[in-house]
């Protein structure tokens, strides 16, 4: 198989090739796309849809370049269409995927919400990470971080943190109202949420703060 921008990356080995940059990497760092109905490009964020896939680095800038440069048309060797702006479509899917994982963790009893409950869990050293609402107050975040410092000292730097969802999104995912601060107890379903949230942050160009990277593809496929 030729290694140029007009061909699809090899899906048989442990690495995938971005059709825009030609960089090779672990599938968790790229997004797979397939041909859908009416020759539309369909994001396959779980990499489970049937058919041959084209892979693009999992960041908004590279996905936008793939559209601008007609990389999908060349990769699939046919004229491709877009049902909606592709960057927005991928962002929405990644966001829903992360919030779905949070809802799953909540159903599993792995979420504590509210400043007092979060501080109590921190004191027990029971949390895998913290969530702060993006529209919450900076003072509230400082208080939680101070509690983490008192409870676990420098180990708090390795704790995952997510601050990309507004309170109304957290309310919906957790089935309660006015969620500003929450914590996830240590466990696999919590790791799955933090992995997906980190993926969304990277797509938007942010650097996840201590997000759970070690879970990898296993966490992505867990829920």
- The tens digit of pLDDT for each residue in 43-74 reads 999 999 999 999 999 999 999 999 999 999 99
Residue 11's pLDDT is what? 61
- Position 152 scores a pLDDT of 87
User: How far is the C-alpha of 191 from the C-alpha of 106, rounded, in Å?
Assistant: 13
Q: In which band, very low, low, confident or very high, does the pLDDT at 214 lie, cut at 50, 70 and 90?
A: very low
Separation between Cα atoms, residue 201 and residue 151, nearest integer Å: 27
| pLDDT tens-place string over residues 134-179 | 999 999 999 999 999 999 888 888 899 999 999 999 999 999 999 9
Q: What is the mean pLDDT of the chain?
A: 89
For the cut 80, the answer to whether the pLDDT of residue 15 exceeds it is: yes
35 SS3 class: strand
Say what the pLDDT of residue 14 is.
Answer: 82
Percentage of the residues of the chain whose pLDDT score is greater than 90: 80
Q: How far is CA 77 from CA 48, 63, 70, in A?
A: 22, 18, 11
The confidence score (pLDDT) of residue 4 equals: 37
**Domains in the chain, start-ordered, CATH in brackets?**
16-83 (3.30.1230.10), 90-220 (3.30.1330.30)
Beta-bridge mates of residue 161:
130, 209
């Amino acid at each position: 198989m030729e290694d140029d921008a007009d061909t699809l990356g090899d899906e048989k080995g442990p690495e995938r090739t971005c059709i825009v940059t030609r960089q090779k990497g672990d599938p968790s760092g790229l997004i797979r796309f397939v041909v859908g109905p009416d020759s539309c490009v369909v994001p396959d964020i779980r990499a489970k849809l049937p058919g041959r896939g084209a892979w693009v680095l999992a960041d908004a800038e590279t996905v936008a370049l793939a559209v601008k440069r007609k990389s999908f048309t060349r990769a699939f060797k046919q004229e491709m269409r877009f049902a909606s702006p592709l960057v927005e479509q991928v962002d929405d899917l990644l966001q829903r995927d992360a919030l779905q994982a949070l809802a799953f963790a909540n159903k599993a009893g792995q979420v504590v919400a509210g400043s007092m409950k979060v501080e109590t869990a921190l004191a027990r050293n029971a949390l895998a990470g913290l969530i702060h609402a993006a529209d919450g107050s900076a003072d509230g975040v400082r208080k939680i971080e101070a509690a983490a410092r008192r409870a676990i000292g420098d180990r708090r730097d390795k704790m995952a943190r997510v601050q990309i969802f507004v309170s109304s999104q957290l309310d919906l995912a957790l089935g309660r109202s006015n969620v500003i601060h929450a914590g996830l107890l240590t466990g696999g379903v919590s790791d799955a949420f933090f992995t997906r949230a980190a993926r969304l942050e990277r797509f938007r160009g942010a650097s996840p703060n201590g997000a759970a990277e070690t879970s990898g593809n296993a966490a992505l496929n867990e829920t």
